[in-house]
Structure 1
Amino acid sequence: MTTLGVIGLGRIGAFHTETLSTLDGLDGLVITDERSEVAEAVAAKHGAKYVSTVEELLSSGVDGVVVAAATPAHAELTLAAVERGIPTFCEKPIAATAAESARLAAVVLKSGVPVQVGYQRRFDVAFAAAKRAVDDGSLGALHTVRSTTMDPAPPPMDYIKGSGGIFRDCAVHDFDVLNWITGQRAVEVYATGTVQGDPLFAEYDDVDTAAVIVTFDGGALGLVSAARYNARGYDCRLEVHGFDDSVAAGWDQGVPLRNTDPRFTSPEDFPAGPAHHFFMDRFTEAFRAELAAFVGVTKGEAIPGATVTDAVEVAWLAEAATESLRRGAPVRLEEVRNA
């Protein structure tokens, strides 16, 4: 019998609860949220047990915990579970800052309690195939990796205000993919961005459109493109270029692009659509595979996805990109790590 707890039932927490409720190998769910009416409704819908506090959930005998609460609570909730020896799945980021992430990771690693971090793109079949192509050497030495994330519309401005900015909130998925795909260590970041939409982005020291160049110690260059306005749909693509071959992920029939080649005009031509609407429909199966893998982690299997060590490296990249945008100049990773 395996029982998981879910802390936080906002957009991603409710989505995870729905996914978990249909997984093989999982026998029960215990859920909690500060909004009791929301938690009770989710519990009734998915046959989960509702408890009113985090303490009650952690003391209920669960075999693992999914932390899906608001970002500022991630570190505290993860530590609370780890202190009880409970394997934990924490949505990104693991903490509000890179320095705090590093401190949390040190505690987790010392404890020996497994903590998996929510970077679901690693579980997408196309992204995983691209990673295998890199690892088997068929691409040769890598020279360029391009990662794109474009949302159909920005989240509410109240969310943007406390998000930490586009690099900490949105582009972290791209940074994780770059690190994971290349297997190299980032040494320098140059970031730029503009505000072309809601002027509140500027008031909150954020941008709605950004580009980043990451230089890795093996010589590869990572190129990130992130935007909050892409009305055609949710665009998430990866290109990996080596000296011997190139591969791409995300070029499926739902890619939200209008092909201007006049030779592709009929409905069944590429891309046939419908366009991906949001990250949850784009990565439904990846989220499912990721959470199924975490069930295995609670049973003693190795973490197959992102670890706290991986999450810390992503956090430093986000920190460096944020600082680079502020300065208008490249920033070396060692600068932010030693600040």
Structure 2
Amino acid sequence: MTSAAPVTLGLAGTGRIGTSHAETLTHLPGVGGVIVADADAERARATAGKLGVQAVPDLDALFAADLNGLIIATATDSHPALITRAVDRGIPVFCEKPVAADIQGTLAVIDHIKNSTVPVQIGFQRRFDAGYRAARAAITSGDLGWLHTLRATTLDPAPPPAEYIPRSGGLFRDCGVHDFDIIRWVTGREVTEVYATGANRGEQFFADAGDVDTAAIVLRLDDGTLATVSLARYNGAGYDVRLEALGSEGNAVVGLDDRAPLTSVEPDCTPSPFPAYPGFMERFRRAYTDELAAFVSVVNGESDNPCTVTDALEAFYIAEACELSRHDGRAVQITEVRR
């Protein structure tokens, strides 16, 4: 059996995540060429020069190239147009979350591509992390018995720039959506109800944007399992992302390693000598690589799409319900936001 020919991939957006993806692609088996473009043509040229890949002056030139697949790492408001343009040209897509800035925009993309066989993979990299995969296996195998509680945590060491917050979609859509997706994925269950609350203890720009810098969420799954999600923009100890799956027969904990930014005050506990992860890029570096390797496999028709647009929509529904719950101060059924 012969292996697939190397693919040529286009990459739109050479900011932090786009540049990281481009660098990963240069070392990825099965990738024969990388072509980058950005609204800032000089930034694209600089990235290309540093990595030894090709740059083109704009997105029109990128689409004019002979691409086997497209990776979208641009600003959120450009995602829908780029996804639909690529699908209409028969080009498989990998797009960083979210699909669109809101549910209406996401549904419009789904409607546009619903009759197409061109795959669109959405970037929820935690699905490719070894710890989350092990937790999923432990849950689905029945080794944990029946689940009674999940506890998810995403705590950033420092907030993003003030100018990012008004266009971020808010803490639930920007940050918590990763926890919502991974809870669905590891359990194979759907969320039916949420209760969310938030607080602002940090910079005023969060409140000015109608957002919060800290949140606590309770989710009810369709089998009665309860899940809690803790989110924060200020966690000076370091980047802290964990998931605890607690069952009647055992438990599985993701993210509890030597770099977890946890300080025990028990007298007999020895502190870890290893530094905490400074951010998500370092914590999930291998997962990002495996995610792009999966996309190459999807492009070659060797694997099914591991994270569809519909998956992204379901996580977005949960985030939307959280925002409504915070605003109204009540529990919200997912059916209230589903369209």
Q: Is the pair's TM-score, using the shorter chain for normalization, greater than 0.5? A: yes
Offset, 1:304: 5.2
Distance in 2, matches of 1:280 and 1:256, equals 16
CA contact (8 A) 2:120 2:305 kept: no
Query: Mapping of 1:1-339 within 5 angstroms?
Result: 1-265=6-270, 271-303=272-304, 305-338=306-339
SS of 1:134's equivalent?
helix
Deviates more, 1:193-202 or 1:179-188: 179-188
Distance in 2, matches of 1:330 and 1:157, equals 30
SS of 1:237's equivalent?
strand
- 1:156-195 per-position Cα deviation (integer Å, ceiling 9, x unaligned): 0100011110001010100001111121111111100000
Offset, 1:23: 0.8
- 1:113-132 per-position Cα deviation (integer Å, ceiling 9, x unaligned): 11111000111111110011
CA contact (8 A) 2:119 2:305 kept: no
CA contact (8 A) 1:33 1:53 kept: yes
- 1:26-48 per-position Cα deviation (integer Å, ceiling 9, x unaligned): 11001000111111111111111
TM-score by length of 2: 0.96
> Residue 3 of structure 2 aligns with which residue?
none
Unaligned runs of 5+ residues in structure 1 are none
Distance in 2, matches of 1:254 and 1:93, equals 28
Size of the alignment, in residue pairs?
A: 334
Deviates more, 1:235-244 or 1:103-112: 103-112
Offset, 1:108: 2.7
Distance in 2, matches of 1:264 and 1:45, equals 45
Unaligned runs of 5+ residues in structure 2 are 1-5
CA contact (8 A) 2:194 2:331 kept: yes
Kindly report the root-mean-square deviation, in angstroms, between the aligned alpha carbons of the 2 structures: 1.2
CA contact (8 A) 1:201 1:207 kept: yes
Distance in 2, matches of 1:168 and 1:53, equals 29
Deviates more, 1:299-308 or 1:212-221: 299-308
Structure 1 residue ranges, 4+ long, deviating more than 6 angstroms after superposition: none
Distance in 1, matches of 2:53 and 2:304, equals 25
SS of 2:114's equivalent?
helix
Deviates more, 1:17-26 or 1:166-175: 17-26
TM-score by length of 1: 0.96
Offset, 1:259: 2.0
